[in-house]
Chains A and B, each alone.
Chain A
Amino acid sequence: MNIIVCVKQVPDTTVVKIDPVKGTLIREGVPSIMNPDDKGGLELALRLKDQFGAHVTVISMGPPQADVMLREALAMGADRAILLSDRKFAGADTLATSYALSGLCRVLDYDLIIAGRQAIDGDTAQVGPELAEHLDLPQITYVAGARVLENGNLEVDKENEDGVQVLEVEGKCLLTVLASAFDARYMSVSGIMEAYDKEVEVWSADKIDVEEGKLGLAGSPTKVFKSFPKAMKAPGEVHEVTPEEAVELIVNQLKAKHII
Chain B
Amino acid sequence: MDKKDYKNVFVFAEQRYGVIQPVALELLGKARDLADALGEKVVAMLLGEGIKDQAQMLIEQGADEVIVVDTPELKEFLSEQYSQAVGQIILDRKPSIVLYGATTIGRDLAPRIASRLKTGLTADCTKLEIEPDANNEPEFRMTRPAFGGNLMATIICPNNRPQMSTVRPGVMQKMQRQAGRQGIVTEFTPKFDTSKFKVKLVKFIQADKQMADISEAKILVSGGRGVHDKEGFDKLQALANVLGGQVASSRAMVDNGVMPHECQVGQTGKTVRPNLYMACGISGAIQHLAGMEESDFIIAINKDKFAPIFSVADLGIVGDLHKIVPMLTERIKKELEK
A18 within 8 A of B: yes
Count how many chain B residues have C-beta atoms less than 8 Å from C-beta atoms of the other chain.
91
- Structural contact, B104 and A159, CB atoms closer than 8 A: yes
**With A and B bound together, what is the CA distance between A180 and B268 in angstroms?**
11
Near A by CB (< 8 A), chain B positions 274-319 give 275-276, 285-287, 293, 297-299, 301, 305, 310-319
CB distance from A230 to the nearest CB of B (A): 5
Given contacts A141-B107, A164-B207, contact A123 B199 (CB under 8 A): no
Tell me which of B111, B149, B335 has the highest count of chain A C-beta atoms within 10 A of its own C-beta: B111
CB distance from A137 to the nearest CB of B (A): 8
B209 partner, pick from A162, A232, A243, A253, beta carbons under 8 A: A162
**With A and B bound together, what is the CA distance between A171 and B199 in angstroms?**
9
- Structural contact, A166 and B157, CB atoms closer than 8 A: no
A251 partner, pick from B79, B202, B331, beta carbons under 8 A: B331
**With A and B bound together, what is the CA distance between A249 and B110 in angstroms?**
47
**With A and B bound together, what is the CA distance between A123 and B147 in angstroms?**
8
CB distance from A242 to the nearest CB of B (A): 8
- Structural contact, B150 and A13, CB atoms closer than 8 A: yes
A130: chain B residues at CB < 8 Å are: 111-112, 114-115
Given contacts A123-B146, A124-B123, contact A241 B317 (CB under 8 A): yes
- Structural contact, A141 and B207, CB atoms closer than 8 A: no
A171 partner, pick from B116, B155, B198, B327, beta carbons under 8 A: B198
B16: chain A residues at CB < 8 Å are: 162
Near B by CB (< 8 A), chain A positions 168-193 give 168-171, 173, 180
Tell me which of A164, A165, A221, A226 has the highest count of chain B C-beta atoms within 10 A of its own C-beta: A221
B206: chain A residues at CB < 8 Å are: 162-163
Known: A17-B150, A236-B314, A250-B324. 15 other contacts (CB 8 A): A121-B148, A126-B110, A134-B115, A138-B79, A141-B107, A163-B206, A165-B76, A167-B200, A227-B154, A229-B151, A230-B151, A236-B298, A238-B305, A239-B318, A241-B317
Binding site secondary structure of chain B:
mixed
B315 partner, pick from A17, A243, A247, A250, beta carbons under 8 A: A250
Near B by CB (< 8 A), chain A positions 214-260 give 220-230, 232-233, 235-244, 246-247, 249-251, 253-255, 257, 259-260
A169 nearest in chain B by CB position: B199
B160 within 8 A of A: yes
- Structural contact, A257 and B276, CB atoms closer than 8 A: yes
A100 within 8 A of B: no
Q: Which 7 A-B pairs have the closest CB atoms?
A: A13-B148, A221-B120, A238-B316, A133-B115, A222-B120, A129-B111, A130-B115
**With A and B bound together, what is the CA distance between A164 and B205 in angstroms?**
5
Number of inter-chain CB pairs below 8 Å: 263
Q: Report the stretch among A39-47, A54-62, A90-98, A202-210 that lies at the interface.
A: A90-98
**With A and B bound together, what is the CA distance between A251 and B336 in angstroms?**
11
- Structural contact, A235 and B312, CB atoms closer than 8 A: yes
A148 within 8 A of B: no
B184 within 8 A of A: no
**With A and B bound together, what is the CA distance between A20 and B277 in angstroms?**
27
- Structural contact, A260 and B335, CB atoms closer than 8 A: yes
Tell me which of A18, A141, A232 has the highest count of chain B C-beta atoms within 10 A of its own C-beta: A141
- Structural contact, A132 and B112, CB atoms closer than 8 A: yes
**With A and B bound together, what is the CA distance between A163 and B261 in angstroms?**
11
Interface size class of A (residues with CB under 8 A): 35 or more
- Structural contact, A225 and B305, CB atoms closer than 8 A: no
B276: chain A residues at CB < 8 Å are: 254, 257, 259
CB distance from A125 to the nearest CB of B (A): 5
**With A and B bound together, what is the CA distance between A120 and B141 in angstroms?**
23
B297: chain A residues at CB < 8 Å are: 253, 257, 259
**With A and B bound together, what is the CA distance between A134 and B320 in angstroms?**
54
Given contacts A180-B255, A221-B157, contact A230 B111 (CB under 8 A): no
- Structural contact, A16 and B148, CB atoms closer than 8 A: yes
B152: chain A residues at CB < 8 Å are: 227-230
A126: chain B residues at CB < 8 Å are: 107, 110-111, 114, 121, 123
B91 within 8 A of A: no
Complex A-B: 6 CB contacts under 8 Å: A13-B148, A25-B147, A127-B111, A180-B254, A239-B316, A239-B318
